[in-house]
A = this chain, B = another copy of it.
Amino acid sequence: MTKQDLIDCHDRIKPFIHITPVLTSRLINEMIGAQLFFKCENFQRMGAFKMRGAANAIMQLTAEQRKNGVVTHSSGNFAQALSLAAQGLGVKAYIVMPNTAPQVKKDAVRGYGGMVIECEPTLEAREHESKNIEDQYGATFIHPSNDDQVILGQGTACMELLEAQPGLDYVATPVGGGGLIAGTALAVHYFGTNCRTIGGEPLATDDAYRSLLSGQIETNTTTNTIADGLKTQLGDRNFPIIQKHVEKIIRVTEKEIIASMRIIWERLKIVCEPSSAVAFAAVLNQKGKFNEKKIGIIISGGNVDLSHLPF
């Protein structure tokens, strides 16, 4: 994936996304002893950066492929993103979701024009159901994070951030399936100047941290984190990019995630998901390392259930 691939991708998806704002807080800067720049993808369409990758992946399909629709399995933001992007492009989206997914998430997908197909809440069941839809309708499967076109799309948030703040020393993102951090690392590599990519990961689902140590893709044995967007596993498309271009992954506790989320809500006055707070938590965790630096933080999304807040 080249610099030109990223530029072309950004130009391609621009009509379907918002150029999101970058916020700062004097009090947060004083707290860290650094300058932080928060790229607010919680203000993105459907409330998360996932819109970028979904739009790019569908736009790279042939006319024939588009006619037959797209399919993914997700109960999170990618389900909504693929539905909304597909709707905007006149493409049918089949979304395989576990029958245990909250009604509000199914409704959100349907609200964006996606067709919900329910299955048993196991990996086997959802892969089987996705395969069924591919076979039955000729729909193209699009993975939420382990897909080159999705990775490129997610990288465009960091391109915008570096355009707004060219002098960044670091860009930090949360790490879940690895699509956001891989795209970000490519953007930092091609558009940054002495800039490095840092990941934040919950201790409970630290597959990326352990994979970097061992040199092969490790799996999570639990998904016991409040950061519900970060329970997914690294893939073989994004892992090599992370190995090559990410300086470090910093692990944080659940307590640190909640405290960081609270600081973002209180100081920046924005609503972000627990997953979004993990990158800031990583910087807070090792603030000595970041002293007097300029740090970009990708606030990944803002879809949170206000009835079940951790504070």
Copy number in this complex? 2
Verify if A270 is at the interface (C-beta below 8 Å from B). yes
Q: Count chain B CB atoms within 10 A of each CB in A21, A40, A265, A269 and give the residue with the most.
A: A269
Q: Is A47 an interface residue, CB under 8 A from the partner?
A: yes
Q: Restricting to A193-228, which residues have a CB under 8 Å from any CB of B?
A: none
Question: Which residues of B sit under 8 angstroms from A311, Cβ to Cβ?
Answer: 306-307
A11 contacts the other chain (Cβ, under 8 Å)?
Answer: no
Total interface residues on A, CB under 8 Å, equals 18
Which residues of the other chain, B, contact A306 by a CB distance below 8 angstroms?
262, 265-266, 309, 311
Nearest-CB distance from A273 to chain B (Å)?
Answer: 10
Whether A43 is near chain B, meaning CB under 8 Å from some CB there, is yes
Contacts of A43 in B (CB 8 A): 23, 269
Q: Which residues of B contact A42 (CB under 8 A)?
A: 269
Complex: A269 Cα to B18 Cα, angstroms: 14
Q: Is the CB of B269 within 8 A of A269?
A: no
Q: Which residues of A does B touch, CB under 8 Å? A: 21, 23, 40, 42-43, 47, 262, 265-266, 269-272, 302, 306-307, 309, 311
12 contacts between A and B (CB under 8 A): A23-B43, A40-B269, A42-B269, A43-B269, A269-B271, A269-B302, A270-B271, A271-B271, A306-B309, A306-B311, A307-B311, A309-B309
A sample of 13 more A-B contacts (CB under 8 A), given A47-B269, A271-B271, is A21-B21, A23-B43, A42-B269, A43-B269, A262-B306, A265-B271, A266-B306, A269-B270, A269-B271, A269-B272, A269-B302, A270-B270, A307-B311
